[in-house]
Structure 1
Amino acid sequence: MEKKEWYLEYEININRPGLLGDISSLMGMLSINIITISGINQGSRGLLILSTQHQMERLKQLLELMETINLIKLREPTLHDRLAVRHGRYIQRDEDDKRTFHFIRNEIGMLVDFMSEIFKEEGHQLIGIRGMPRVGKTESVVAASVSANKRWLFVSSTLLKQTIRNDLIEGEFSNKYIYIIDGAVSMKRGNERHWSLIRELMRLPAIKVVEHPDLFVSNSQYELKDFDYIIELKNEPNEKITYNVGKQNMFTESGFDGFDF
């Protein structure tokens, strides 16, 4: 029977010396290969293992007899399981909207890994990313693109002054690109040709990342429910993401003075 990857997570009831060694030896006797082990939050361990269905069922029976641990999860690994093993904790997910994920600035490494895995998927994906100025939104998207071995293309941006694209050249319509759209710039500076290009890109089976998705939907035919993922990146957990910073209006005629990206 062919082996495949499984994710196993257990909670430690009695943290005695040699516990991990006992579990590892048990897996060895069952010819189960351990790929990765990591602490998951406090008091739990997660493992990626390679096993047949029969071996896994036998392991499950034996682990459930152990008083020192409590078996929590045993399943084919999800993206969140893999990232939890890699980084030692689960991504914070919104309780009300399961498409929304929360990160703070010192978790940018985990955010880049998360987006990179999404960017490796085929077909249309629409991702929104919220955050205050200079928190690392654009840099994270670019880093994730590199990690996923994809090119990135700014459709609208303030990273290098203000970028507004009204058309693309031959070869730039491709699922090898990550298309980055700044919802604030498109809302303020985009003309009909620019929005026509955005509509064309939305029909393309490729990844689109929209910074400031709330502003983007306020000036377009799209809705927040059209997004597959919403990411919130904050400097600290209690920070409020607002577009009204110090002035009554977000924009001025001279540029983005009220909300300096």
Structure 2
Amino acid sequence: MKKTEWYLEYEIIKNRPGLLGDISSLLGMLSINIVTINGIHEGRRGLLILAKDKEQIERLESILNTMDTIRVIKLREPKLRDRLAVRHGRYIQRDADDKKTFRFVRDEIGLLVDFMAELFKQEGHKLIGIRGMPRVGKTESVVASSVSANKRWLFVSSTLLKQTVRNQLIEDEYNENNIFIIDGIVSTRRASERHWQLVREIMQLPAVKVVEHPDIFVQNTEFSLDDFHYIIELRNDPDEEITYEIVDKNHMFSDSDFGSFNF
């Protein structure tokens, strides 16, 4: 019988020598294999385990709940956040009120790239927004995630090298495996109606679209934040405020700062 993967997370109540060995021995006696284990938070460990049936997991949970040295936090089929937590040794921060908003700081770029790469591998239409101040690493993270997911990225509008505003795509660029990157500020402030026609065409494709500055984007289109499947926030530090005042003052982009081309 094929074994299935489960995620176990527990909090250490009484840390004593041999605790991990006891849990490993228990898993062994139940014929449950450990795939990966890592500390994921202060006083917490996460494990990916393999079990042949749910009955094994129920027996494991029953025994673990009798132990006074640990407290079971999660025992479930693994979600993407669980896999990344074990891989990186930390959990992705999720907004308590808006469950589709995920927060990262700059020193978590590796975790962010892995997270987006996993999203990029999923098939079908997916709309992802990414917020952050200038030069925090938004575009670079999207490009790195595309490479990690083995996907081609296309700038529909961007300022990464020069200010880019696309008005059309060539035939082979209408590909469901491409990652389409749109800068909400550039599209709003510099684009023509032809560009917006292209954006609407791209939105109909069963592909991944990433919109930088989604708040500005939705202010000037028929789209809303409800249309986004994920919102990612990237900050230099946890207390940084993401603000668009610099845009309102027209200091973010000027013709003297960037070359521009349309095609």
Q: TM-score, normalised by structure 1?
A: 0.94
Counterparts of 1:178 and 1:68, CA distance in 2: 47
The alpha carbon displacement at 1:95 in A equals 1.4
Counterparts of 1:98 and 1:232, CA distance in 2: 13
Note the aligned Cα RMSD (angstroms): 1.6
Helix, strand or coil for the counterpart of 2:22? Answer: helix
Aligned residues: percent identity? 69
The alpha carbon displacement at 1:99 in A equals 1.0
Helix, strand or coil for the counterpart of 2:173? Answer: coil
Q: CA 1:109/1:22 → structure 2, altered by over 3 Å: closer, same or farther?
A: same
Q: Which residue of 2 is the match for residue 46 of structure 1?
A: 46
Q: Which residue of 1 is the match for residue 102 of structure 2?
A: 101
Q: Which residue of 1 is the match for residue 121 of structure 2?
A: 120
After superposition, the C-alpha distances for 1:205-254 in whole angstroms (9 at most, x for unaligned) are 00000001111111111111111111110101111111223983346763
Q: Which residue of 1 is the match for residue 243 of structure 2?
A: 242
After superposition, the C-alpha distances for 1:89-148 in whole angstroms (9 at most, x for unaligned) are 211111121111111100111100110111111100000001111100000000101111
Structure 1 runs, 4 residues or longer, greater than 6 Å off: none
Is the 2:5–2:48 contact (alpha carbons within 8 Å) kept by the matching residues of 1?
Answer: yes
Counterparts of 1:112 and 1:181, CA distance in 2: 18
Q: Which residue of 2 is the match for residue 227 of structure 1?
A: 228
Is the 1:34–1:47 contact (alpha carbons within 8 Å) kept by the matching residues of 2?
Answer: yes
Q: CA 1:247/1:168 → structure 2, altered by over 3 Å: closer, same or farther?
A: closer
Return the letter of the residue paired with 2:64.
L
Q: TM-score, normalised by structure 2?
A: 0.94
1:198 aligns with 2:199: yes
Q: CA 1:84/1:120 → structure 2, altered by over 3 Å: closer, same or farther?
A: same
| Matched residue count | 257
1:168 aligns with 2:169: yes
Moved more, 245-254 or 191-200: 245-254
Helix, strand or coil for the counterpart of 1:241? Answer: coil
Return the letter of the residue paired with 2:94.
R
Return the letter of the residue paired with 1:34.
I
Is the 2:8–2:74 contact (alpha carbons within 8 Å) kept by the matching residues of 1?
Answer: yes
Counterparts of 1:137 and 1:248, CA distance in 2: 21
Runs of 5+ in structure 2 lacking a partner? 259-263
Q: Which residue of 1 is the match for residue 88 of structure 2?
A: 87
After superposition, the C-alpha distances for 1:57-84 in whole angstroms (9 at most, x for unaligned) are 1111111111111111110000111111
